[in-house]
Chains A and B, each alone.
Chain A
């Protein structure tokens, strides 16, 4: 077996040193009746070349963006990943290291995550960010729980424009905690309906949670929402599934958001069929002790040199166990590092240009599609790089015809709500050229009949 270094002679010497005659004897603490009496029924071991052949056979059955023209978004985005990102995270000192519990031999990870925290603060306009969460959905759920802790209130208002899977995740997390979840509808323009918010926003509300941009790509009026929430003593939580937008849009912090969360996949991570992603989580300084997850802090060593450590761990499970702010233990360290590398490569200019190009391409696609007979844009509010299209025939049928042209034309919104059978969510990024968009538009036109 190629991963096991033991020779027969080693094993014999080791058994002798232990004072047993067989490896089997080492398991004597397991009662015989508890032992599996047969070999595991699994396929036989594969050699490395055979393994890769089998994997490639499976990969051939997938229609990835490598093989098709893709306009899929909805919380997972097809952005270009510079070669340096994978090259750097493939340094084994990064990817084979553990959680940095021993800071003297983990300064690389610790400094990089401190830099990640800083980049997330700069991007969101907030004071503190944690060392990452599992993904955008679970980060949103943790934000909901943090708002409940901070306000000692029990109601959460979730915008209908929040990603449906984020809403479901919040609901699962809150299931047995005696909290009330209320959905706030969208106005016709695609934004959270401020008029519908007023009747349900009272002094029992811990937080209003909205997407920014929302699931339908629409840019929410965060400042207005913040004013309303704050007037009732509630917090405003923004969840950003497409953080490239923050290169161009006003930051959540600037607009009065109390907790800014989201998904960092756009920043250097492949879509990977939905995971791993990396949840970001940022808040105001005063809330730091009720934040979930790991935090890296700067300090000094005994010689006065700058160094970094895991800090404020009393919020975690190490000490007060059942009083912990969250049960999260590991974070997404390597993914956070990917985000830090990606954002460092983009820098101040790159993030802006990237966001502008995403907007411009999506706007071009929007105009072209809207001009097709039978197609229209139901939402009039501004969008970033994705938007809803009303289709002349069921989106599912339309998408099938596009598949024949090797185009993944968008997400059939009936997936989330049967009433949306004639709606398609289309995403355009810098990866789609004008020719690509024109191909999509022509295919939609052809498929409309």
Chain B
């Protein structure tokens, strides 16, 4: 039986504001048991103009309907390269909603928040062990926020030694946020080409490294899914010339229990906790971006840090060399609870097994597709594999393939990234998918390659089975409508 999409009843839904009917309310307040109070009239607004008026059932049906238009990991296979969309254990959701955790105020005195602090401390120690870094902060709110935290520390370290280093080397395989982050820390970005084999070459780094360069930002495994095999030598070169090495840890899912970035000579790395440690992505977040550092950078970590003392756990704010704080309160604690639950569910052995199977799955897809799809690099892949649209017939391109995959019931892989690969199709299956799922996905990819040869219109007109067809993105950008108006 074909996996192609079939008919279903997909209903339209107006915007909240279009559903509104004057006088409705979906919320109940306790009766006020104090005298009413008034502010000076000049401080008070009229009603919030435009706010909808809906009953609870209106709101529930509205958002339930919207949810049916979405594709999530629980709906099906989501092989988004570099995004690590693994299945998220349900117990994580139960864990973070425990009232003792969810209803704890961030300014609760430390002695009344020992459970939360213990959990943060355990998570911190676990991440240190996995990454090989001796010190760590849990404060950053997302991966890119962790990058900012890490690069601010790199800058602070240089400033503490006299400064003057204003440039950062960034390979062309880097995530788009890396150059933006470096710029936010006042650095100039020096692009670095990866070699023909898809990895950085130690001699190229040596040639660019001088005393104006603060360091190198590298992703390992890189965005091609390849291990930076010369990373130790590269770290040595950067260190010899007085720089530091930043590791974008977005792809840590390939390395747990296998290799530790801290052991390889990296100085600072962020974790995409929501990816590797299984917090659902939520259509954009929340995530969390813990940052591990070498001993030399420890004094610069954002305040406060969770520390263990004889009297118990404590938030330590007394950090004179700290770069400060990057957000209010204690970080995305709800994400930390989920990550803690995941770590404790798997243990060291389970984490290593996860990485092994993530890599097995990527290599299995590679083996099944490489005869038909063009593979730009021949090295052994780790947790993700990048193909291109070079062999795709019928004047079909990566975007057409991606849209046609939707008709087959799959979320498309990451496309047109990394930028260094023309027409890239980046597949990351993760460890939570079975051989059966991978086989069905590969069958769909191969069927689409045949369709491209025999009936390319199927690709050009895809997706056909979705609620709406391809959207006019140019119109959205040229005539921005970012807000509903009556």
The reply to whether B39 and A382 form a contact with Cβ atoms under 8 Å apart is yes
- On whether the beta carbons of B435 and A10 are closer than 8 Å, the reply is yes
Does B280 belong to the interface (CB within 8 Å)?
yes
A interface residues, tally (CB under 8 Å): 203
Write out the residue numbers on chain A whose beta carbons fall within 8 Å of the beta carbon of B332: 275-276
Asked if B93 is an interface residue, CB under 8 A from chain A, the answer is yes
User: Closest chain A residue to B88 by CB distance?
Assistant: A96
Q: Which residue of A lies closest to B383 (CB)?
A: A26
- By the criterion CB–CB under 8 Å, are B283 and A335 in contact? no
Stretch from B202-210, B362-370, B446-454 at the A interface: B362-370
Contact assessment for B285 and A334 in the assembled complex, using a CB-CB cutoff below 8 Å: yes
Bound CA span A175–B20, Å: 46
- Stretch of B238-246, B252-260, B388-396 at the chain-chain interface: B252-260
With A301-B471, A382-B43: A345-B432 Cβ-Cβ less than 8 Å? no
Contacts A/B (CB < 8 Å), 15 sampled: A26-B356, A36-B257, A41-B348, A62-B108, A62-B115, A98-B80, A104-B469, A109-B284, A136-B328, A299-B471, A327-B147, A345-B27, A352-B47, A356-B32, A434-B33
Q: Known contacts being A95-B282, A99-B283, A250-B43, is A364 close to B37, with CB within 8 Å?
A: yes
Given contacts A40-B351, A45-B346, A249-B44, contact A72 B360 (CB under 8 A): no
Is there contact, CB below 8 Å, between A344 and B67?
Answer: no
How far, in whole Å, are A119 and B48 apart by their CA atoms in the complex? Answer: 10
* Interface window among A13-21, A192-200, A226-234: A13-21
* B169 at the binding interface (Cβ < 8 Å): no
- State the Cβ distance, A84 to closest chain B Cβ, in Å: 6
B406 contact from A18, A105, A346, Cβ within 8 A = A105
> Considering the complex of A and B, which 6 residue pairs feature the smallest CB-CB distances, nearest first?
A333-B284, A274-B329, A59-B100, A334-B282, A274-B106, A40-B348
- Does B467 count as interface, using CB distance less than 8 angstroms? yes
The verdict on B374 contacting chain A, using a C-beta distance below 8 Å, is no
**In the docked arrangement, what's the CA distance between A56 and B115, Å?**
9
Contacts of B83 in A (CB 8 A): 98
A399 to B45, CA, bound (A): 36
B72 contacts chain A at the CB level, 8 A cutoff: yes
A354-B29 contact in complex given A97-B72, A297-B477, A300-B475, C-beta closer than 8 Å: yes
Known: A163-B328, A276-B286, A321-B180. A46 touches B91 (CB 8 A): no
Digitize A231-264: 1 where CB-to-B-CB distance is under 8 Å, 0 elsewhere.
0000000000000001111110010000000010
A289 CB to closest chain B CB (Å) equals 9
Q: Which residues of A contact B260 (CB under 8 A)?
A: 36
Is A374 part of the contact surface with B, judged by Cβ < 8 Å? Answer: no
Q: Which of A1-9, A153-161, A182-190 contacts B (4 or more CB under 8 A)?
A: A1-9
B172 to chain A, nearest CB (A): 10
**A324–B484 alpha-carbon span in the complex (Å):** 27
Indicate whether A295 reaches chain B with its CB closer than 8 angstroms. yes
- Tell me if A52 and B229 are in contact (CB < 8 A): no
Q: Which of B44, B62, B350 contacts A248 (CB 8 A)?
A: B44
Q: With A128-B482, A271-B105 in contact, do A327 and B177 touch (Cβ < 8 Å)?
A: yes
Indicate whether A408 reaches chain B with its CB closer than 8 angstroms: yes
CA distance A263 to B327 in the complex (A): 11
Contact of A103 with B471 in the complex, beta carbons under 8 Å: yes
Whether A330 contacts B142 by the Cβ 8 Å rule is: yes
**Nearest Cβ distance between residue B225 and chain A, in whole angstroms?**
10
Is the C-beta of A118 less than 8 angstroms from some C-beta in chain B? yes
Among listed A75-83, A203-211, A439-447, interface-contacting one: A75-83
Binary interface encoding of chain A residues 328-340 relative to chain B, with 1 for a CB under 8 A from any of its CBs, else 0: 1111111111001
Chain A positions within 8 Å of B116 at CB level: 58, 62, 273
B183 touches A330 (CB 8 A): no
Contact flags B85-116 to A (C-beta < 8 A → 1, else 0): 10111010111111111111111110011111
Verify B231–A46 contact, CB threshold 8 A: no
Min CB–CB distance A414 → chain B (angstroms): 12
Q: B70 contacts which chain A residues (CB < 8 A)?
A: 93-94, 97, 105-109
Interface size class of B (residues with CB under 8 A): 35 or more
A274's nearest neighbour on chain B, judged by CB, is B329
Residue A419 lies at the interface, judged by CB distance under 8 Å to chain B: no
Q: Mark A33-68, 1 if CB is under 8 A from B, else 0.
A: 111100111111110100110111111111111110
Q: How far is the CA of A40 from the CA of B40 in the complex (A)?
A: 63
B47/A348 in contact, CB under 8 A: yes
Pairwise interchain contact A250-B326, C-beta atoms closer than 8 A: no
Given known A-B contacts A84-B59, A275-B286, A408-B108, A175 and B324 have beta carbons under 8 A apart: yes
Residue interface mask A287-330, B partner, CB < 8 A = 1: 01000001111111111010111011110111001111011111
Give chain A nearest CB distance to B221 CB in angstroms: 9
Known A42-B129, A301-B472, A303-B469; 15 more pairs at CB < 8 Å: A39-B257, A52-B95, A98-B281, A114-B15, A118-B483, A134-B286, A138-B141, A169-B325, A172-B302, A276-B335, A303-B468, A330-B143, A345-B54, A350-B25, A382-B43
A93 touches B72 (CB 8 A): yes
**Contact residue among B53, B98, B435 (Cβ-Cβ distance under 8 Å from A13):** B435
Query: Are A346 and B27 interface neighbours, CB within 8 A?
Result: yes
In the bound assembly, the distance between CA atoms of A320 and B47 in angstroms comes to 42
Residues of B within 8 A of A351 (CB): 48, 51
Known contacts A219-B43, A344-B59; A321 and B189 CB within 8 A of each other: yes
A357 touches B363 (CB 8 A): no
Residues in B neighbouring A449, C-beta threshold 8 A: none
Contact B49 A48 (CB under 8 A): no
Give the residue name and chain of the B residue nearest to A44 (CB). B347
- B294 interface residue (CB < 8 Å to A): no
User: How close is B300's CB to chain A, nearest CB, in angstroms?
Assistant: 11
- Decide if A100 is an interface residue (CB 8 Å cutoff): yes
Let me know if A51 and B345 touch, CB within 8 A.
Answer: yes
The answer, yes or no, to whether B422 is at the interface (CB within 8 Å) is: no
Residues of B within 8 A of A54 (CB): 344
Say whether B376 faces chain A, with CB atoms less than 8 Å apart. no
A332 to chain B, nearest CB (A): 5
B103/A270 in contact, CB under 8 A: yes
Residues of B within 8 A of A15 (CB): 360
Query: Any chain B CB within 8 A of the CB of A347?
Result: yes
